[in-house]
Structure formats: C-alpha cells, structure tokens
Chain A
Amino acid sequence: MKTIKVGLGTCGISAGGQLVYNKLVEEIKTKNLEVELKETGCMGMCYEEVLVEVEEDNGTFLYSKVTPERASKIVTEHIINNAPVKEWIVKSDEVNKEEDFLKNQNRIVLRNCGIIDPTSIDEYIAQNGYKAIQTVLKNSTPIDIVDQIIKSGLRGRGGGGFSTGMKWKFAHMEKADKKYIICNADEGDPGAFMDRSVLEGDPHSVLEGMMIAGYAIGSDEAYIYCRAEYPLAIKRLKNAIAQCEERGYLGKNIFGSGFSFKIKIKEGAGAFVCGEETALMASIEGKRGVPRLRPPFPANKGLWGKPTNINNVETFANVPWIINNGWDKYAALGTEKSKGTKVFALAGKINHSGLAEVPMGMTINEIVYGIGGGIKNGKKFKAVQMGGPSGGCIPASMGDLKIDYDEITRTGAIMGSGGMIVLDETTCMVDLARYFLNFTQNESCGKCTFCRIGTKRMLEILERITEGNGKESDIDLLIDLAQKIKNGSLCGLGQTAPNPVLTTLQYFREEYEAHIRDKKCPAHNCAALIEYCIDPDLCTGCGVCARECSSNAITGKKKEAYYLDTALCSKCGKCFEVCKFDAVIKN
C-alpha cells in the first residue's frame, strides 16, 4: 500500500499545507483509494513547501511546492496510474535536486522530524523511541547518566553553551524533598524556529530527554514553558503527554522501575525576557517575568525555592540519541570544545531558507553557499546575523570561520539558539542595529536602570543616525553606553543587548560614518537618506508607477519617460517595487 505524507509544521501550514491535506483526503475518499495519508513535521526544506512524500514499493518520491491542484494530479498520475509526476519531484532514488541542501547535514535532533507522524507515539517507538529511558532505568544509576552526558560534551543549545552534564550534576548533588525539571520552549529570538520545529515534528523526543534528566537529578515533576505564539507545538505536546500517561510512560512507577515523573505545560504570555531562566521561573509562579540575581542558581534554589534544572528543547532532544548511541559517538562529532551538531534556522536573503542540522565546526560559507544555496537574486553576500538580539553580525569576509561556541564568541556575536539571518548588500547595518535595539528596548523588563534607559538612549541615537541627523560624537557615545549597559545589567538580556551595535560598529563602522558625515545610506535603505528618480533612458512610459504613487509625485505622458518630483515624493518605495524595467532608481 502506498503512503502519502504531508509536511504540516507551521511553515507547511502557512504555505497552504492544510489545503493540500484536505484535498488529498477528499480525493482519496471520492476515488475510494487504498492509501494511507499521514501528517508529518517540518522536513527542513521550508523554501520548497508544501512538501508531499509518496512512499511505495519502488521507493519514496518527494514532491515540492504542492498546491491542491497539483495534489489532485499527483493522486491521478502517481497513485492511480503509477506514473510519478517527474517535473515536481525534488527527491527520489533517481532524482536529487536537494543534494546541496541535504548532503552535509547530520540529523540527530531532527532525526525524526519530517519522517514520523508526530501525533503517533507508536511511530516514535518504532524509531527506537523510549528505548533510552528504559535502558537508563534498567541499567544505570542517576550519577552514571550525569557522567555520560558530561562526557558527551553536550552544551546548552539555548544559547548559553554551559555544559549540560555539569548543570545536571549540580542539581543531582542538591539534597531536597522536591526537585524540578524545566524545558525552556520560550523561543523568542526573532528569526529562530528550531525549537518550534522539533516540538511540532517530534515532541516525544523532548519528553524522553526530560524523563532521563528527571531520573538523573532525582526529580519527579517537570514543566514545559512554551510560548503561546506556538499553538501547534502546544497542541502536539499535550497530545504526546496524554499518550505517555495512557501507556504509563509518565506517571507513577514508570516501566516498573519505581521512578515516577509527570510533565505539565505552562503557556507563556508574550515576554521575551522569560527566556531567561530566573524570569521564566517567576512566570511559571504566576508573577511578572522579572529576572533575579544569581546566585543562588536554579540548581540550588529554583522554582518555588526548590532545586531546578532548566534546559532548552534542542538540548533535551539530543539526550535520548546520546544514550542510545553512546556518548563517545556524540563526542566524536564537532570541534574540540563544541561537540555534536547544531540546528540552524536559515533565513533572510538566502535561496534555501529552512532548518539545517550540521556538525559543529562547519564554516559559515559552507552553510551559506552549500546548504543555503547562496544569496537570493544573485546579490552580494554581506554578513550573517547570529544569536538574534543578543548576537551580532559576522561579515562575509570571515566566511571561513568554523562555527562553534568559542569561535563565534570571539567575533563579538554569540551562537545563540541558532537563528542565522543572511544579509546581502541591500541590508543597512545601521538600520539592522536600530531594529534590534528597538526590540530589546521594548522587551527590557525595566528592572535595571541601564537596560531600561540605556537601551532607549541608544535607540534614539541610532534613529537619528538613520534619519540623517547623526552627530560626529554619536559613535563614541554609543560605545560608551554599550559598555555601561553590559556592566550594569543583571540578566542576559541587558548584558547582550548592545551586541548588535558593537559588532556592526566593529565590522561596518564606515556605514555609520557615511550616515553621519555624508548623510548617505550606502545600502540605499534608510528612507531619509535616499532619493527616488526615474531614469528617462530606461522608462518605457507604461505609467504603472504614476498610478501607484499615493503622493502624486510622478507625472508624464504614456509612452514617454515619466518624471518624479522629489519634493512631493514620500519615499514609500511603491514605484521602485512595481517598475518592471528597473527605471526607478534609488540614489
């Protein structure tokens, strides 16, 4: 029997996956076909969504950019007539249009994403699921497990990069009547969607990782703190927890071992700072998510004052694999101090946006040009932004840099949770720094003066620079404020908030200077510093721009070159976008 799988992660659904799925249901029903239709998680190739895979005796066939109409044709041609629709296939035994994207990946965290049906516990079990927890409960003492995780070299994938095993050890050594495990699923960095895809595509792997951690530190209760903006992830997690409870994988005396464990979900309510562990715990306790001073660390005094171990989604998803395959196999991957793999969310001005999991130590160029397929529209690669609002921009000239925690930190950026936004020549670095400062300034909880007011002042300075009112002394003032905010803030949000400004200043200082001194935006991005005009030689006189212009700044006669009056122009850029002849020019 043939099986059809439809990728229904958030990206797949956004691209119209649900419509395709519904169409397939209808076709299968009306044509009375014997086909198994399944949903699956994110396959990683977001740029090819909607993805549909047909599994049959002759192999598997992956179709890209499927619409409901295409789905009907696939049913008629491939399912009924056994003739795969070759032109839409991106991957099969014969065709591999995705070789560049897939060949250098090593999927550990994403091992089941896009392969199994995330709503089925049996499919997870069929992929060796819940084998690791059984092995652990049967053969290992808690300290053995802690030891294995330390030796694997796994470091916190949420961004901090602290040794996971050491964290577990601290919590393990605490003596208390109650300990908690928390899974941080408050993935708040704009441009990062790794954790969401794991939760949506393989929720059981996270639950299993949490159980193993619970056994290792001696905890019987856990929370998953998931952002409310991820409704599908929450739904899949709830379903997975219910399945585990039904089978007795969660609850009392799990697998007859005497170990008891329960997992609850807490929905976030929209606050970026709650990704910080002490703020997150305050939020679970029902309070404003304001961070507190450490020490005491959560391992000593965490949720409701009890020892608590917090790891993020990706970290937990690694754990069952490490137990099943051995810590040495994991430690064999990666670089000297950064072991294993890392999932990156590739987005921005890149051809293949999506999720890629690669061994640590791969270079930026290998990811951007190899997996990412290069820059969109043949533009020039300028930089990658890593680590979101806490991170920074690494220029294209450093493209041979090996990606691991320490190398990235040396550049002034941070590994972060894995968002990798690729920028091209049309991205203004001053504007990008302003964008991130705007974000952190909004999300600052307000506890520390430097973070609350300092980020506001930095934002004001960046705003005036992008508006052409920058002063010569502004750059020094930005650096001064940046250092003070770093030193004067309690938590990671404030300590890292100036990073986007500092790294762009370090690598693209001339862009700041061009804005301030020459009143020019070299990337032609900042509206106040550009002027639109029409090139009479290129203009065909079609008049589309004049019709679109809401300020009546464009005049002319049909079939003759049009004229743009800069005095009336509101610089909205509509004319630039609609002109098919590249006759509208930004100066």
Chain B
Amino acid sequence: MAEIKNPDIENIAEFKQDLINKRLQSGSLIPLLQSAQDSYGYIPEKIIHYISELVGIPAAEIYGVITFYSQFRLKPLGKNLIRICEGTACHVNGAKSILTVLQDELGISVGETTDDGVFTLQSVACLGCCSLAPVIMVNNDTHGNLNHDKIKRIIKKYKSDQKVRVA
C-alpha cells in the first residue's frame, strides 16, 4: 500500500511527471486522480486544486468525479486495509456474520479507521474468488473459507505484527 505522504506536490517527482504526460491527452482526469492516489494514499484537497489549474476543469467538477467512483478516497487509510467481500457467493455463505465479528474485534464499522490508525475496514462488491467464500482481503492477501475463529486469528496476527514493528 502507498505510504501516506505530505501532500506537497514538489516532493512527488513521479506524480509530477504523470501530470505533464497525461494532461495533454483527452480523458486524462481519472488516470490523473488514480496517479495522485497512488502517490499519496488518498487525494488531498490541495491536489484537487492543483489538478484543476493544470487541466482547466473546475475543482467542483473534479470533486464530483472523485465522489462518483468508489475507488477514490478523500481521507488517508489505516496501515492495514481490510476489505470484506459482499459478493453473492459470500453473502449466501455467511459474510454478514463474518462482518459482525470483524466489527466487534476492531471496534469500528465499515468505512471507518481505528483510532490508532492500524486498520481501515471497507466492503467491496465482489473480490471474484467466489470459490473461497466467504472471503476478506487484508492489504493484498486474500483469506478465504472464513469462520469466526479464523477471522479472530487473522486479526490477532496483524495486531501482533503491528506491535513487533512498533517495538
């Protein structure tokens, strides 16, 4: 996952290059926003204004595009992103009770980040590994065939990994 950086455009050479490369092409707004999010982990307000000036699209319109698509975030993420699959196969295989356990264990609801910034919980429409339902994805790792026990063990593992890193 992209580290959260100070939204200072000058520091992100790669993003700047992308801006230069893409702004001349039509239809470049979404790729630009994707590039910004890759660089910062989210889309800072400052960047919206910056892009607006460069491509000549009003900031309000850019904001409209950002909020239309579920991929874009206006707030930074926690260190670990947990995505729970809400696909049909997961739904009929008990995703709801998995979500209850997750929320209990983390003390947050879908869309929220824990106070210590360690976990963000999101739901996704379908991760596409229906044969492993119910499924969650933590960062880039998929965990399938879940039950209450397995979920608790997974959360515990990430929590203790976090402690090790801090120590």
Contacts and interface: CB of A to CB of B under 8 A. Distances in A.
A563 interface: no
Contacts, number: 144
Interface in A22-42: none
B125 A423 contact: no
Interface stretch (A71-79, A151-159, A186-194, A403-411): A186-194
11 contacts: A14-B132, A46-B132, A49-B131, A190-B86, A191-B88, A191-B130, A269-B33, A286-B30, A348-B88, A574-B97, A577-B148
B96 to A, nearest CB: 9
Contact of A550 (B30, B72, B104): B104
Given A269-B72, A288-B65, A385 B88 contact: yes
Contacts of A80: none
B91 A286 contact: no
Contacts of A419: 88
A286 B24 CA distance: 13
A348 B34 contact: no
A8 B147 CA distance: 25
Given A284-B27, A388-B88, A193 B128 contact: yes
A118 to B, nearest CB: 16
A348 B135 contact: no
Interface of B: 26-31, 33-34, 64-65, 68-72, 86-89, 91-93, 97, 100-101, 104, 124-133, 135, 142, 144, 147-149
Given A11-B129, A270-B71, A347-B131, A191 B64 contact: no
A382 B93 CA distance: 15
Contacts of A283: 30
Given A270-B69, A270-B71, A289-B68, A229 B89 contact: no
A550 B27 CA distance: 52
A188 B125 contact: yes
Contacts of B72: 269-270
A228 B125 CA distance: 13
A266 B71 CA distance: 14
Residue of B28, B91, B128 with most chain A CB atoms under a 10 A cut-off: B128
A40 to B, nearest CB: 17
Nearest to B69: A269
B26 A286 contact: yes
A432 interface: yes
**Considering the complex of A and B, which 4 residue pairs feature the smallest CB-CB distances, nearest first?**
A46-B131, A347-B130, A269-B69, A270-B70
B100 A572 contact: yes
Residue of A191, A230, A349 with most chain B CB atoms under a 10 A cut-off: A191
A288 B68 contact: yes
Contacts of B128: 10-11, 187, 192-193, 196, 229-230
A15 interface: yes
Contacts of A88: none
Contacts of A445: 68
Contact of B127 (A229, A423, A432): A229
A427 B144 CA distance: 20
Contacts of B65: 286-288
A463 to B, nearest CB: 13
A421 interface: yes
A344 to B, nearest CB: 12
A215 B19 CA distance: 33
Contacts of B149: 578
Contacts of A46: 129-132
A390 to B, nearest CB: 12
B91 A435 contact: yes
A220 to B, nearest CB: 17
B137 to A, nearest CB: 8
Contact of B148 (A190, A304, A574): A574
A578 B91 CA distance: 19
B148 A349 contact: no
A190 B97 contact: no
Given A267-B34, A286-B27, A191 B126 contact: yes
A115 interface: no
Contact of B130 (A193, A228, A286, A289): A193
B125 A272 contact: yes
A347 B68 contact: no
A288 B97 contact: no
Interface in A204-231: 228-230
Contacts of A385: 88
A369 interface: no
B131 A10 contact: no
B88 A435 contact: yes
B148 A548 contact: yes
A269 B71 contact: yes
Given A14-B144, A15-B144, A353-B89, A271 B131 contact: no
A190 B71 contact: no
B124 A11 contact: no
A573 B126 CA distance: 24
A162 interface: no
Interface in A328-357: 345, 347-349, 353-354
A443 B70 CA distance: 10
Nearest to B137: A14
Contacts of A187: 128
Nearest to A436: B88
Contacts of A518: none
Contacts of A15: 129, 132, 144
Interface string A5-19: 000001101110000
Residue of B30, B72, B93, B132 with most chain A CB atoms under a 10 A cut-off: B30
B142 A349 contact: no
Contacts of A353: 89, 130-131, 133
Contact of A269 (B34, B88, B101): B34
B154 to A, nearest CB: 14
A190 B64 CA distance: 25
Contact of A285 (B27, B34, B92): B27
